[in-house]
Amino acid sequence: MSKLRVTVWNENLHETRFQEIRDIYPEGIHGCVAGFLKDAGMEVSTATLAEEEHGLTQERLDNTDVLVWWGHMAHNDVQDEIVERVYRRVMQGMGLVVLHSGHASKIFRKLTGSDSELLRWREVGEKEILWVMNPAHPIVQGLPDHFILEHEEMYGETFIIPRPDEVVFVSWFEGGEVFRSGLTYTRGLGKIFYFRPGHEAFPTFFNENVQKVIINAVNWAKPGAAMPKVTLGEIKNPIMPIKDAKENTLAQLNVYKDEE
């Protein structure tokens, strides 16, 4: 079987601007995520905001089975044309794994139709416990029923999003809030997973359980069957003879306006 082709997209601004963040992620968050996905046997490339077309050319996307997305402070700098391109690929079946603040990215908001930047947040490095909601879900295989991140940014309900297909994780935070932190959606033929942790100021993506979730999610989100080729409005011969077939005598019903 050929390897799963993954592209890891990162804003890559915190890492290039702040030494403190570079100390945590010397190769950038994209470098860290790409590293453990490669170790899991995937064919991985990376793309960043500063690259031409944000590194997401049509050719790159056509050769991507699953796109991983991390963005935080520059969602509005992502060109609409590229968002549209990613959107079309998801509709055609490309998987999308959206991390942390990616809930407010143009692509996640377009796909879910949400004002998903709306939530509570607090950045004091408190403890987060992620609880598995469905132990049978492919994304949680190999995980314990809960795991702990000692320091994370807090996201709290109410999280204004459309109802997901499935809630895979719920997080508890030291300060008392809870959050739906692992969510699945289907849009067109594409599978989408949103995973909450991953604030840049903490080494979250080095956590073994976080890595397992992302590896599982990429495997889960890979494309299934291809979209059948259907021409809009095409009239097919019936596959079985139609008894008492009748001509449409109300053909005028299909005419919206009289021709000039």
Closer to Zn ion by Cβ: residue 190 or 197:
197
Query: Closest separation between CB of residue 155 and Zn ion, Å?
Result: 8
Distance set, CA 120 to CA 14, 57, 65, 123 (Å): 22, 34, 33, 11
Query: Closest separation between CB of residue 58 and Zn ion, Å?
Result: 30
Query: Closest separation between CB of residue 33 and Zn ion, Å?
Result: 15
Q: How many residues bind Zn ion (CB under 5 A)?
A: 2
Considering only 24-32, 171-179, 182-190, 198-206, which stretch makes contact with Zn ion by CB under 5 A?
Answer: 198-206
Query: Closest separation between CB of residue 8 and Zn ion, Å?
Result: 17
CA neighbor of 220 nearest in space, from 89, 90, 65, 112? 65
Q: Are strands 120-132 and 166-173 parallel, antiparallel or unpaired?
A: antiparallel
In the shown chain, the binding pattern of residues 116 to 155 toward Zn ion, with x for contact by CB under 5 A and - for none, equals -------------------------------------x--
Considering only 73-81, 84-92, 110-118, 193-201, which stretch makes contact with Zn ion by CB under 5 A?
Answer: 193-201
Amino acid at 230: V
CA distance 54 to 75: 12
Closer to Zn ion by Cβ: residue 54 or 199:
199
Partner residues linked to 184 by β-bridges: 166, 193
Does the protein bind Zn ion through residue 75 (CB under 5 A)? no
Q: Which of 10, 199, 204, 213 is in the footprint of Zn ion by CB under 5 A?
A: 199
Query: Closest separation between CB of residue 214 and Zn ion, Å?
Result: 16
CA distance 227 to 7: 22
Q: Find the distance separating the first CA and the last CA of the chain, reported in whole Å.
A: 58
Closer to Zn ion by Cβ: residue 106 or 199:
199
Query: Closest separation between CB of residue 101 and Zn ion, Å?
Result: 5
Considering only 23-31, 44-52, 126-134, 197-205, which stretch makes contact with Zn ion by CB under 5 A?
Answer: 197-205
CA neighbor of 71 nearest in space, from 79, 60, 63? 79
Which ranges of the chain would DSSP assign to H, the alpha helix? Answer: 14-17, 19-24, 28-39, 58-62, 80-92, 106-112, 208-221
The string of DSSP codes covering 169-229 is EEEEETTS-EEEEEEEEEETTEEEEEE----TTS-GGG-HHHHHHHHHHHHHHS--SPPP-
Considering only 12-20, 40-48, 141-149, 199-207, which stretch makes contact with Zn ion by CB under 5 A?
Answer: 199-207
As given in the structure block, the two tokens for residue 168 are 């895979």
Query: Closest separation between CB of residue 199 and Zn ion, Å?
Result: 4
Closer to Zn ion by Cβ: residue 11 or 153:
153
Amino acid at 48: T
Which residues sit at the interface with Zn ion, rule CB under 5 A?
153, 199
